[in-house]
Structure 1
């Protein structure tokens, strides 16, 4: 169970559309709007986990053509996000929103977020804890996942609110962007490795 909790912490902490947009909403619209946005991400994330647990995601991925299209699209999207972050120059590369997004926008983001499906499949098929008690394992994993998910997303929200107030030197901002992009490429590597 400790390995599972560590994997959850590492995978959820890496930059992806959810946490980067959370920081962006916090930076652009403040903590109150950010909490509503995180609520939507939470709901959407759990919908994705239910799709994974129920087998709906696996059913779609069982069709080789669909699986290849989703793999290419997801990998391409994550590479695009990494490049966008790394090449943002001297501005910390949170995903900026022009209009204040709400709960609905956040739920939809999670439903189309390829990282959410990779994470869900990795957690629910890659870490067998009790092979003879599947539903107990699923419930415990959901509790652990959400117990880690919530503070990580609140921390990213706080980071967005706090970093907007700081006047960081350009060099520091570039270093942050490169570190986030490398973490995103690590997610791409994990996604590709998990398909083998």
Structure 2
């Protein structure tokens, strides 16, 4: 159980914490408007993530209950998606959104809509639930516990990006440093998937 929990936390942290749209938006907001002013945006992003978790949980649970033999197919699709995301992260251009001095910080509603319409969030949780489901005998509790762990990890990771926004923002304006960070995240994501398949 501890090994499964560690794998889930590590995979969730790497997948959600890699420099994608939400983390970069939080970092840019934190750098531009400050942590306090960006807290509503963070809460909105986490609420949108809750919808993605419920959607992915319901989808995976229904699929695997109806067709238990589909587990390997779902796992392979999840692994391919994580590999695709890792490739996109490693090869993405350097980009940080700039905000004008007169701009208002993004709101709670902005954050909610941002993640509600983010297909990466749904696909990421589909991949996580297919690969790293906690081994609890009652399947319903297994999905709930896995979802709660994912939400806690997401809250910690997103808050960290928000707090570190001021210090990370200059790095993403320097192509060499940005590339090293992106490739490192991508390699760590691929290593997490290989760990699951080889254990």
TM-score computed with the length of structure 2 as normaliser: 0.67
Task: Check the 8 A contact 1:13/1:152 in 2, yes or no.
Answer: yes
Task: Check the 8 A contact 2:30/2:162 in 1, yes or no.
Answer: yes
Q: What is the aligned residue count? A: 166
Alignment counterpart, residue 116 of structure 2, candidates 89, 111, 116:
111
Q: Does 1:83 align with 2:92?
A: yes
**Mapped partners of 2:147, 2:20: distance in 1:** 20
Q: Does 1:174 align with 2:178?
A: no
**Mapped partners of 1:39, 1:154: distance in 2:** 10
SS at match of 2:134: coil
User: Gaps (5+ residues) in structure 2?
Assistant: 64-79, 195-199
Q: Which region of structure 1 is more displaced relative to structure 2, 132-141 or 95-104? A: 95-104
Match of 2:45 in 1: 41
**Mapped partners of 1:41, 1:103: distance in 2:** 7
The RMSD of aligned alpha carbons is 3.5
User: Gaps (5+ residues) in structure 1?
Assistant: 60-70, 86-92
**Mapped partners of 2:12, 2:48: distance in 1:** 17
SS at match of 1:55: helix
Task: Check the 8 A contact 2:133/2:143 in 1, yes or no.
Answer: no
Alignment counterpart, residue 152 of structure 1, candidates 157, 174, 180:
157
Q: Which aligned pairs between 1:27-106 and structure 2 lie closer than 5 A?
A: 27-55=31-59, 79=88, 82-85=91-94, 93-98=95-100, 99=103, 100-106=105-111
